[in-house]
């Protein structure tokens, strides 16, 4: 049995689809969903559904009963009063279930930056989650992307109406990226493979050498209209997050995260690329995903 968390989210939904479409899958699938109505009819017909949050120890225990593997993703909570506390609220129940119910494998979405990132907000909290879960002795794979291309989708309206997107990152510095489709493909492959053991990171770095300015050039070409990138300073970025309803702790964490990304370089040009495991290029993603979101 494979358990999938966050099955209606951007990544979890794609993981679930790939598992359901796998031709030689020999195991059942169970999902944990706060709102099962958000699952498609196709999914509800083919999986077991446990209603609730995977931060709830009782829900997680029920979902993992008799399971072999878990796809693990801690969803963001911009209203959380502590970034570290938010990740800990999910991680501690998982560690308890691993100890008590004999899970064999966990595949989790984490981040690049291990051994490098310091005071990096949500990234540091994610890396601490890895340490805690792997410390139980479970076979563990941390899928580690850099900047997600899908982070730009929230600014589709700004690209369409104002010809600009904003980033709190140095505009002319290379920023490594990854598409969520490649995260989902890798996670599904690992979940369907019962041969791997031990602990390891799986870096997923796309094939591009683009800075935010270079990304804007590609976006302009794909959309056939001029689109620029606007640099947002840390104070302005924090203020914007607060206006959108984030707690002070979450907004501070995001500022720490982007400042660490920018200053410590773990999403930057020194990161080795792995095109065989993250094959989607930024232009292809723009054509497939961004263009319909902006112009559709």
CA distances from 203 to 151, 177, 229 (A): 18, 11, 27
The residue-averaged pLDDT of 100-127 equals 95
CA distances from 147 to 50, 62, 241 (A): 31, 34, 18
Confidence of residue 102 (pLDDT cuts 50, 70, 90): confident
Name the percent of the chain lying above pLDDT 90: 93
Residue 7 has pLDDT above 80, yes or no: yes
> Rounded to an integer, what distance in angstroms lies between the CA atom of residue 211 and that of residue 220?
14
Nearest to 174 by CA among 229, 214, 204: 214
Nearest to 174 by CA among 282, 251, 257: 282
CA distances from 254 to 143, 146, 154 (A): 20, 15, 16
Q: Which pLDDT score, from 0 to 100, does residue 232 have?
A: 94
Q: Which pLDDT score, from 0 to 100, does residue 68 have?
A: 95
Domain 2-147+178-203 has CATH 3.40.50.720: yes
For 204-246, how does the pLDDT look when each residue is reduced to its tens digit (9 = 90+)? Answer: 999 999 999 999 999 999 999 999 999 999 999 999 999 999 9
For 24-46, how does the pLDDT look when each residue is reduced to its tens digit (9 = 90+)? Answer: 887 899 999 999 999 999 999 99
In this structure, the chain runs to a length of: 296
Against a cut of 0.75, is the pTM above it? Answer: yes
For 272-286, how does the pLDDT look when each residue is reduced to its tens digit (9 = 90+)? Answer: 777 677 999 999 999
Q: Residue-wise over 137-169: b if at least 16 C-beta within 10 A, else e? A: ebbbbbbbbbbbbbebeebbebbeeeeebbbbb
Q: Which pLDDT score, from 0 to 100, does residue 227 have?
A: 97
Lookup: tokens for 85: 């506390």
The residue-averaged pLDDT of 251-272 equals 92
Q: Which pLDDT score, from 0 to 100, does residue 273 have?
A: 76
Helix/strand/coil for 278? coil
For 139-153, how does the pLDDT look when each residue is reduced to its tens digit (9 = 90+)? Answer: 999 999 999 999 999
Residue 287 has pLDDT above 80, yes or no: yes
Nearest to 77 by CA among 245, 257, 259: 245
Residue 47 has pLDDT above 80, yes or no: yes
Contact indicator for 82, 250 with CB cutoff of 8 Å:
no
Lookup: tokens for 206: 């796309």
The residue-averaged pLDDT of 44-68 equals 96
Residue 52 has pLDDT above 90, yes or no: yes
**Beta-carbon neighbour count of residue 74 at 10 Å?**
23
268 DSSP 8-state letter: S
| Strand ranges for 183-225 from DSSP E | 199-203
Contact indicator for 143, 187 with CB cutoff of 8 Å:
yes
14, with CB counted inside 10 A (0-12, 13-18, 19+), is buried
> Rounded to an integer, what distance in angstroms lies between the CA atom of residue 271 and that of residue 61?
38
Mean pLDDT of the residues in the chain: 95
The residue-averaged pLDDT of 92-112 equals 95
DSSP H or E run through 188: helix 180-191
Q: Which pLDDT score, from 0 to 100, does residue 132 have?
A: 97
Q: Which pLDDT score, from 0 to 100, does residue 207 have?
A: 93
CA distances from 81 to 6, 95, 263, 289 (A): 21, 22, 26, 33
């Amino acid at each position: 049995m494979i358990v999938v968390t966050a099955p209606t989210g951007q990544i979890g939904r794609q993981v679930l689809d790939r598992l359901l479409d796998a031709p030689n899958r020999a195991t059942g699938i169970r999902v944990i969903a706060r709102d099962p109505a958000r699952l498609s009819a196709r999914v509800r017909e083919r999986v077991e559904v446990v209603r609730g949050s995977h931060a709830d120890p009782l829900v997680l225990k029920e979902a993992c009963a008799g399971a072999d593997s878990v796809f693990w993703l801690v969803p963001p909570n911009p209203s959380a009063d502590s970034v570290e506390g938010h990740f800990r609220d999910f991680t501690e129940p998982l560690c308890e279930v691993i100890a008590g119910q004999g899970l064999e494998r966990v595949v989790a979405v984490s981040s690049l930056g291990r051994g490098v990132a310091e005071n990096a907000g949500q990234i540091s909290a994610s890396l601490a989650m890895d340490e805690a879960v792997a410390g139980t002795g479970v076979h563990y794979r941390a899928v580690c992307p850099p900047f997600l291309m899908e982070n730009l989708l929230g600014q589709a309206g700004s690209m369409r109406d104002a010809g600009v997107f904003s980033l709190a990152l140095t505009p002319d510095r290379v920023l490594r990226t990854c598409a969520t489709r490649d995260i989902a493909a890798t996670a599904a492959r690992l979940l369907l493979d019962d041969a791997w053991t031990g602990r390891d990171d799986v870096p997923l770095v796309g094939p591009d050498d683009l800075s935010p300015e270079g990304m804007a050039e590609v976006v302009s070409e794909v959309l056939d209209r001029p689109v620029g990138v606007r640099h947002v300073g840390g104070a302005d970025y924090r203020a914007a997050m607060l206006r959108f309803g984030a707690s002070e702790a979450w907004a501070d964490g995001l500022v720490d995260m982007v400042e660490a990304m920018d200053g410590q370089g773990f999403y930057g040009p020194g990161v080795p690329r792995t095109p065989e495991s993250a094959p989607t290029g930024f232009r292809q993603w723009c054509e497939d995903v961004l263009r319909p979101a902006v112009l559709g």
